[in-house]
Structure 1
Amino acid sequence: MLFSLLNLNNAELISWKKTIDNLYRLQRRIFKSAMVRDLKKCSFFQNLLVKSNVARLVAIRYISNLQVYPKVYSYFRSQGNKDFSLNNKITLLNLLSTSFYTWTPSQKESYFIYNEFGKLKKVIIFTIEDRCWQILVKLLMEPTYEAILEPQILGFRYETSVHFIQKILLLNLSKNSYGFQKRILQIEVKTPFEVLSFEPFLVKLFLNKKIKIIIYRFLKLGLQLDFNQHNCQMNQLVNLLANIFLSGFKSSVNWIRFGSKLLFFLGPLENEITTLSLCESFFKSLGLKTFENNFLMVSLFQGFDFLGWNFKCSNLGNLLCIPSLFCYKKFLFRVKSIVNNSNYGALIKALKLFPLIKKWKFYYKFCNSKNFTTSLLYFQKRAFRVLKKEVQQDRYSTKNLLEKSFFAPGFNFNKKKDLKILFSSHFRFCCNSNHFFENHFFCIHCGLEIT
């Protein structure tokens, strides 16, 4: 009965390993044809991926395993979708196969969720069927724009780690590349994007015309182009569409973009006014309503903050990378609230401190740890005095607890051998780097898989 509903003849196609391998094979073909700009063959493989049951099964599995806020799912529980059973998945699979090119988005729902700064933010979420359709289009578009988009766009590709972005900044601002002569121009675009017309954006989409019309319906219904974390969790197509919207920028100045932040490395002979006018003309060509962007122009000797790091040049011309003061104060506020809480014992405080300090030291493991302004030495002494006051703890037991919480990772700032660059001489592509997939890389020249 199940095979007749799924229109399958072989039981081996039900295994997830087989479905992932088939999807990976199709996405490899799409990536190779888009890399050599064979657009006719790329559109053929895109239509082939839409017709396959493999991509639809993976999209339904992704949505069913996705964990979002329980407040958001209260809307679906109220409409009777409390249990997303096997029968519902099969009906959704048949619905995606029959009406993929004639899809009409359902009624949206808006919720207010606290962001990282403690303020309420409005988030729009669609139904489960609409989000499954978005995941299916995302599986279709990702390998195409993995090859088409510029290498300066760092927030789009899953395989680019945060430390890879730090490595790029360290290479551009180091003493060997004359970083002490450079100036930094940082531009932050206002999000969500307020677009007058979506015509220049729809021209950039290399998709079937019917899929473009459905994406236009989603945008008119309230799908916001944004890089917000909550919005990307609710609607999985938002991050990809926002990166495509800001793509196509060309400049002779060395630049990178992460999310809505653009960073220009200006040399001594390069003018910042021409760069700003070029950015303004580019944003006007996209159809944005206003050019309300925050820009910052500093020298490297003054220092600047980017993604939680502070980059500054010393008087000798050496580059210093330390945690930013804003992130350090925010981290101290979270950690001190645990240590100064009298409801917790010493063991519970150490258990609560361990994940926070581990995440802090892993993120800033390639920063200069000799800087005392952002050091954890004084806080460790404060935690030792507080934990020692407990009756059950003595000097040696508190020291053992703090050694487990404030662990020292094995690395050296001068010998950054752990900071590996992902891209080698050959271009590599990772298509299925989701939460429950293994990462597979292959070379487009020889076709061999790289581990």
Structure 2
Amino acid sequence: MVIILRPQDDAIEILDKISQFLAERGMKVSEKKTKLTATTDGFDFLGWNFKVQKNGKFRCVPSVDNYKTFRKKAKAIVNNSNYGATTKAEKLAPVVRGWRNYHRFCKMGGTRYSLYHIETRAFRVFNKEAKKNRYTSKQLLDKAFPSVPYSENKHINVKGEKSPYDGDLSYWSERNSKLYDSHTSKALKRQNHKCGHCGLKMLSDEKVHLHHVDGNHKNWKNKNLLAIHESCHDYIHMSKRQS
């Protein structure tokens, strides 16, 4: 747990309040896993780096470790000699789209987070392949690095006095659906924010997966898309492998 302190905050007082809050729920603060930090020093959390700059503006960017992990995964696909350019583009697309979607509320400008260097490397590799030219390589590049719009600091605020502990499943299910891309979000809305497999409400403690009913991941028609729990998705595919 990371506790963010403003200049006027008292660290001990804040920590005591949090300890009391957790104690009422049968939990306690772990000293090893708890960090007290000033907003101006910044900190990493869940793949992001948060910091309040000298001008007072809040800034969120992908953390260094998160970016390095993503870059390593992308480079492994680009440099894999067992794949042709078309296969590389198909394998890169979901990796890039997922990474960009995850960070769509961060500052993603500049050559680093725009993936300029990785794209340039991929283009050169694609263009070296037989029967490929600059035009076809550019087409594959656009497919491999799909653009995802980002809007810095446009996080969805929690309404009023709402809390994950208040038991309002409808509110939290509907709110969490807005955190996903358009296809998943629309599927959740059609399903009244319930899992398309088990019928239970979607809660924030489990990821939502988009399932292609006919198994064709190129078929994006609404009737072929179901928003389901991650565990339900695993169960469906495990059952198919065993049958």
**TM norm structure 1:** 0.34
2:70 is the counterpart of 1:309: no
Which secondary structure state, in structure 2, belongs to the residue aligned with residue 369 of structure 1?
coil
Query: How far apart are the structure 1 equivalents of 2:27 and 2:37?
Result: 29
**Taking structure 1 as reference, are residues 364 and 325 closer, same or farther at Cα in structure 2, changes over 3 Å only?**
same
Number of aligned pairs?
Answer: 175
Partner amino acid for 1:367? C
Residue 384 (structure 1) aligns with: 123
Instruction: Kindly indicate whether the alpha-carbon contact (under 8 Å) linking 1:339 and 1:383 is maintained by their aligned counterparts in 2.
Output: yes
Residue 72 (structure 2) aligns with: 333
1:351 offset after TM fit, Å? 0.4
**Taking structure 1 as reference, are residues 316 and 371 closer, same or farther at Cα in structure 2, changes over 3 Å only?**
farther
Query: How far apart are the structure 2 equivalents of 1:320 and 1:278?
Result: 27
Query: How far apart are the structure 2 equivalents of 1:268 and 1:359?
Result: 36
Which secondary structure state, in structure 2, belongs to the residue aligned with residue 322 of structure 1?
strand
2:105 is the counterpart of 1:366: yes
**Taking structure 1 as reference, are residues 371 and 297 closer, same or farther at Cα in structure 2, changes over 3 Å only?**
farther
Partner amino acid for 1:383? A
Residues 18-57 of structure 1: pairs in structure 2 closer than 5 A: none
Instruction: Kindly indicate whether the alpha-carbon contact (under 8 Å) linking 2:4 and 2:37 is maintained by their aligned counterparts in 1.
Output: no
1:279 offset after TM fit, Å? 5.0
Query: How far apart are the structure 2 equivalents of 1:273 and 1:424?
Result: 27
**Taking structure 1 as reference, are residues 308 and 297 closer, same or farther at Cα in structure 2, changes over 3 Å only?**
same
Query: How far apart are the structure 2 equivalents of 1:409 and 1:381?
Result: 18
2:184 is the counterpart of 1:434: no
Query: How far apart are the structure 2 equivalents of 1:291 and 1:308?
Result: 21
**Taking structure 1 as reference, are residues 390 and 352 closer, same or farther at Cα in structure 2, changes over 3 Å only?**
same
Which secondary structure state, in structure 2, belongs to the residue aligned with residue 297 of structure 1?
strand
Gaps of 5+ in 1: 1-186, 188-262, 441-451
Residue 179 (structure 2) aligns with: none
Query: How far apart are the structure 1 equivalents of 2:27 and 2:103?
Result: 38
Partner amino acid for 1:433? K
Residues 171-182 of structure 1: pairs in structure 2 closer than 5 A: none
Residue 268 (structure 1) aligns with: 7
Instruction: Kindly indicate whether the alpha-carbon contact (under 8 Å) linking 2:59 and 2:107 is maintained by their aligned counterparts in 1.
Output: yes
The CA deviation string for residues 129-164 of structure 1, in whole angstroms up to 9 with x for no partner, is xxxxxxxxxxxxxxxxxxxxxxxxxxxxxxxxxxxx
1:397 offset after TM fit, Å? 0.4
Instruction: Kindly indicate whether the alpha-carbon contact (under 8 Å) linking 1:322 and 1:371 is maintained by their aligned counterparts in 2.
Output: no
1:297 offset after TM fit, Å? 2.2
Greater Rg over alpha carbons, structure = 1
Partner amino acid for 2:94? P
Instruction: Kindly indicate whether the alpha-carbon contact (under 8 Å) linking 2:93 and 2:144 is maintained by their aligned counterparts in 1.
Output: yes
Which secondary structure state, in structure 2, belongs to the residue aligned with residue 302 of structure 1?
coil
**Taking structure 1 as reference, are residues 370 and 294 closer, same or farther at Cα in structure 2, changes over 3 Å only?**
same
Instruction: Kindly indicate whether the alpha-carbon contact (under 8 Å) linking 2:42 and 2:52 is maintained by their aligned counterparts in 1.
Output: yes
**Taking structure 1 as reference, are residues 280 and 329 closer, same or farther at Cα in structure 2, changes over 3 Å only?**
same
RMSD: 3.4
1:296 offset after TM fit, Å? 1.9
Query: How far apart are the structure 1 equivalents of 2:201 and 2:194?
Result: 5
Query: How far apart are the structure 1 equivalents of 2:44 and 2:139?
Result: 35
2:68 is the counterpart of 1:322: no
**Taking structure 1 as reference, are residues 331 and 287 closer, same or farther at Cα in structure 2, changes over 3 Å only?**
closer
Query: How far apart are the structure 2 equivalents of 1:280 and 1:425?
Result: 20
**TM norm structure 2:** 0.60
Instruction: Kindly indicate whether the alpha-carbon contact (under 8 Å) linking 2:4 and 2:39 is maintained by their aligned counterparts in 1.
Output: no
Instruction: Kindly indicate whether the alpha-carbon contact (under 8 Å) linking 1:338 and 1:352 is maintained by their aligned counterparts in 2.
Output: yes
Query: How far apart are the structure 2 equivalents of 1:331 and 1:386?
Result: 19
Instruction: Kindly indicate whether the alpha-carbon contact (under 8 Å) linking 2:4 and 2:36 is maintained by their aligned counterparts in 1.
Output: no
Partner amino acid for 1:346? A
2:82 is the counterpart of 1:348: no
Instruction: Kindly indicate whether the alpha-carbon contact (under 8 Å) linking 1:311 and 1:322 is maintained by their aligned counterparts in 2.
Output: yes
Instruction: Kindly indicate whether the alpha-carbon contact (under 8 Å) linking 1:433 and 1:439 is maintained by their aligned counterparts in 2.
Output: yes
Residue 224 (structure 2) aligns with: none
For 2:137, which of 381, 384, 398 is the aligned residue? 398
Gaps of 5+ in 2: 174-192, 203-243
Query: How far apart are the structure 2 equivalents of 1:370 and 1:277?
Result: 39
